[in-house]
């Protein structure tokens, strides 16, 4: 099956997605010609700029408004989609009933509401499915903005120049996917960055509210890069097109594209797009070899806490909902024996457990790692034996089926009846009855 796989290890922004798709499209010249033709009445032009990141050559799709590229706020660390920039971080996006104009640098700009944006999309001389996809993506953006502002979507207004920039990104992605015509689009879990972003209404956590809303149901993680890596426009494009987010399946690539962001990091700031063929039965392979989810590991080295205090901290972390907590004896500086404390949790709980580390241990720093994880599905079955009820943990998946009695139940029976552990275990093979 003809497949596009998007590797979002450095997030997702509209221009980066368009640039990566452009690189794997065979009709590059026609794409640029068509985009410049349909956007010329609005004073918008596109230019594919060859760009290097960490020694890798890729493309940065430059969107020009009346010959100028819209500048991105220095507070953002990523190639930004301008509709998101103005809707999230500047006062030019409004949740009120009427259009307004505000000073933006030395120029005055007007605003477009949601219905005006849809009308502009419908006016574009492009294939119907391209227009329909672009409108659907903008609807996702509008619904997210509407929800976080608590305002009807019809009352959300966008800065006109910024909207043109984002509209070019969205329509460009829709046109490229129309030209490539994949059978399916898959993607990795999305790296959103971490930390905070300064917005017009104050300091907000990453991912920004609209991005977080759009990422509902999509696996994402914060990672080690400080800054906003995934924008609402990028999230909306992924949400519309991608059928599944998981580790890359077996793929025979015929083309690989690098869509470059505008900022430089120690890690190459790009999205990679792979175009190739996946086996028709890739879903079975996915069940066997891909990860089911991601988890975060928090850890620190400690050499100045008592055993009692460390035990209490471990209990508190487990009670707070940690997936697991464990300690390992280590040798630290100045030949001091110490403890490596590690806590596993869901990505969305990282900040909570960071606070618990600082509150209940003596550490002054916490390390993070993100891991992909495969898991068996678990159910609990209760078996009635001659010694009483005993819970059985049953696990299945990946062609595996196994079960194990709950040890606390076995222990309780042994202490209550004075029998051996072997006697209780033997009774499980001839249960009186089973209850789910």
State the burial class of residue 205 (Cβ atoms within 10 Å of its Cβ: 0-12, 13-18, 19+). Answer: middle
> Would you give the end-to-end CA distance of the chain in angstroms?
41
Domain match, 246 and 315 both: no
Residues 209 and 240 placed together within one structural domain of the fold: yes
Kindly state whether residues 23 and 95 are assigned to the same domain.
Answer: yes
DSSP 108-145: EE-EEEHHHHHHHHHHS-S-HHHHHHHHHHHHHHHHHH
61 and 202 fall within a common domain: yes
Question: Looking at residue 303, which CATH number applies to its domain?
Answer: 3.30.70.1380
Number of DSSP helices (H) and strands (E) in the chain, helices first: 13, 25
- Among 245, 258, 273, residue whose Cα is nearest residue 182: 273
The domain boundary, picked from 244, 273, 289, lies at 289
Tokens at 391, concatenated: 């819970």
Whether residue 279 sits in one domain with residue 305 = no
- SS3 state of residue 397: strand
State pTM to two decimals: 0.61
Closest CA to 299 of 225, 223, 366: 366
- Are residue 318 and residue 420 in the same domain, yes or no? no
Judgement on whether residues 262 and 189 belong to the same structural domain of the protein: yes
Count of structural domains within the chain: 3
Domain co-membership, 337 together with 425: no
Q: State whether residue 202 is helix, strand or coil.
A: strand
Tell me, what's the pLDDT at 83? 39
Provide the domain limits for residue 318: 293-373
Nearest-Å Rg of the Cα atoms of the chain is 27
Query: Using an 8 Å Cβ cutoff, are 84 and 95 in contact?
Result: no
Residue 70: predicted pLDDT: 60
Kindly state the DSSP code that residue 304 receives in the 8-state scheme: S
Q: Could you tell me if 357 and 394 lie in one domain?
A: no
Q: Are 330 and 215 in a shared domain?
A: no
Task: Report mean pLDDT in 10-residue bins for the chain, 436 residues.
Answer: 95 96 97 96 94 93 83 36 38 32 36 83 95 94 85 69 81 97 95 81 83 92 87 95 90 94 89 89 46 86 95 96 96 92 93 95 94 84 86 84 90 90 83 50
Task: State the Cα–Cα distance between residues 391 and 369, nearest whole angstrom.
Answer: 34
Strand boundaries in 41-136, DSSP class E: 44-53, 56-65, 68-69, 94-95, 102-104, 107-109, 111-113
Where among 321, 352, 373 does a domain terminate?
373
Residues in the chain: 436
Same domain, 125 and 258: yes
Contact predicate 144/81, CB 8 Å: no
Same-domain pairing of 232 and 320: no
Instruction: Using the 3D structure, point to which of 338, 373, 408 is the last residue of a domain.
Output: 373
């Amino acid at each position: 099956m003809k497949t596009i796989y998007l590797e979002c290890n450095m997030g997702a922004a509209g221009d980066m997605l368009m640039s990566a798709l452009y690189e794997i499209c065979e009709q590059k010249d026609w794409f640029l010609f068509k985009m410049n033709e349909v956007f010329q009445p609005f004073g918008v032009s596109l230019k594919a700029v060859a760009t290097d990141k960490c020694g890798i050559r890729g493309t940065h799709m430059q969107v020009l408004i009346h010959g100028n590229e819209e500048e991105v706020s220095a507070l953002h660390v990523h190639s930004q989609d301008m509709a998101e920039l103005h809707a999230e971080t500047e006062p030019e996006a409004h949740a009120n009933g009427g259009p307004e104009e505000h000073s933006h640098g030395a120029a005055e700009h007007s605003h477009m509401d949601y219905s005006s944006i849809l009308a502009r999309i419908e006016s574009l001389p492009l294939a119907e499915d391209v227009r329909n996809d672009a409108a659907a993506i903008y609807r996702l953006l509008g619904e997210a903005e509407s929800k976080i502002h608590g305002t009807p979507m019809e009352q959300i207004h966008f800065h006109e120049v910024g909207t043109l920039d984002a509209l070019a990104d969205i329509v460009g992605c829709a046109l490229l996917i129309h030209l490539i015509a994949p059978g399916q689009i898959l993607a990795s879990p999305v790296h959103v960055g971490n930390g905070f972003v300064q917005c017009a209404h104050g300091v907000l956590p990453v991912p920004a509210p609209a991005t977080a809303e759009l990422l509902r149901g999509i696996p994402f993680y914060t990672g080690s890069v400080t800054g906003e890596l995934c924008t609402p426009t990028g999230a909306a494009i992924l949400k519309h097109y991608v059928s599944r987010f998981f580790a890359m399946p077996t793929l025979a690539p015929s083309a690989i594209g690098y869509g470059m962001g505008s900022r430089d990091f120690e890690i190459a700031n790009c999205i990679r797009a792979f175009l190739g063929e996946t086996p028709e039965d890739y879903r079975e392979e996915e069940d066997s070899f891909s990860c089911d989810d991601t988890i975060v590991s928090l850890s620190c080295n400690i050499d100045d806490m008592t055993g009692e205090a460390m035990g209490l901290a471990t209990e508190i972390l487990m009670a707070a909902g940690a997936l697991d907590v464990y300690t390992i004896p280590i040798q630290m500086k100045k030949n001091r024996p110490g403890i490596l404390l590690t806590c596993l949790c869901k990505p969305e709980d990282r900040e909570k457990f960071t606070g618990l580390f600082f509150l209940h241990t003596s550490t002054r720093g916490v390390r993070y790692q993100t891991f992909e994880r495969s898991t068996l599905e678990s159910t609990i079955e209760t078996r009635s034996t001659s010694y009483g009820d005993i819970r059985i943990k049953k696990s299945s998946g990946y062609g595996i089926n196994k079960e194990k009695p709950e040890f606390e139940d076995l222990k309780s029976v042994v202490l209550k009846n004075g029998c051996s552990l072997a006697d209780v275990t033997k009774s499980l093979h001839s249960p009186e009855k089973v209850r789910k």
